[in-house]
Structure 1
């Protein structure tokens, strides 16, 4: 019985050593394939959609003579006019301008991803809504 137990322990230790060696080799292999480059100043271009103007796409990065491609996504909304890589903090919408029937708000640059060239402040506008909020006391069914 002792011999079986000793043999089982020996096999267990051998398996543990083998698996840790395999894991170590896998980590080192992963390092090399990811790009174990000495380059620290990667510059990335804009995300270019695979089909049409928006959706999944590819962003190309360059550093010295090396190039790298990353998967990315171009948003399918109004924000693409000032870039998906530029993140802004916006204030509240202003009052409706009756002559142009639009309202505007300003945004300050919060973050530029992938070293993107972004404007420090931007202004966006949208059409005023046609809905008017009922004033206090209006619209309620008053019973007489």
Structure 2
């Protein structure tokens, strides 16, 4: 009995060892793949120079393996020139650029007035003449070196409402800078040299439908300003407000023109300026073919009743909708 128990115990130990070994192998395989151990190192082709037989260039790298991301990639490199060792990569940046070309900077030339550009020449001071340019030319825009003395502003021109002043060259090349410049600008409102008093408007001229007034120059204004200035304006509505008319009733609707008319007689105003009679016409209907409302004169407001006053006008022509507009009320 004791012998069977020992055999069973040994059997369990063997099974546990086998399972532990398999689990450890699975974990090792996963860890190996996760760390990219199933990817071989890069293998490079020969470096090829971009220009000529030596200097800055590129090389193609390849790698193999089931767990690689990129399997092909271009890397920067340098092909050594004659007299240089392959290890002379000092002085090159991370992208393979050459830092060993040093130049002496020449002075900037005079500004070209046509192109407004100036230039200077860089001459090779240090570096391999087979890979470095022996001369370089730099160009840039000229800064403005034309300085001017500003003259005083002139008086305001009443015709153009402009004033001007002259700028005289103080510093700069006279071959490229203007010797004199004239600048102009509008006179500020409220500070113009010409200021006027406004006269009264005349009555409206019935023939021209206009009215006039005269502007008189104020004291202290510029002597070059006109002493007086006439102004003309169209009468509002083409009618003189001083001409008052008394109108008769609206006529019947003319079937051919679909128009009604009424005639007004001059009641108040200058007969030499106002028309003696005036005819007003209106269409008999409005948009949609509905009848237009035609009314007589308004009557006076009634006495106060129930907190309101009321006045009416006679409806000459129109339907039930017009009747509502023939009455006005106001609180009292």
TM-score normalized by structure 1?
0.36
TM-score normalized by structure 2?
0.18
Structure number with greater Rg is 2
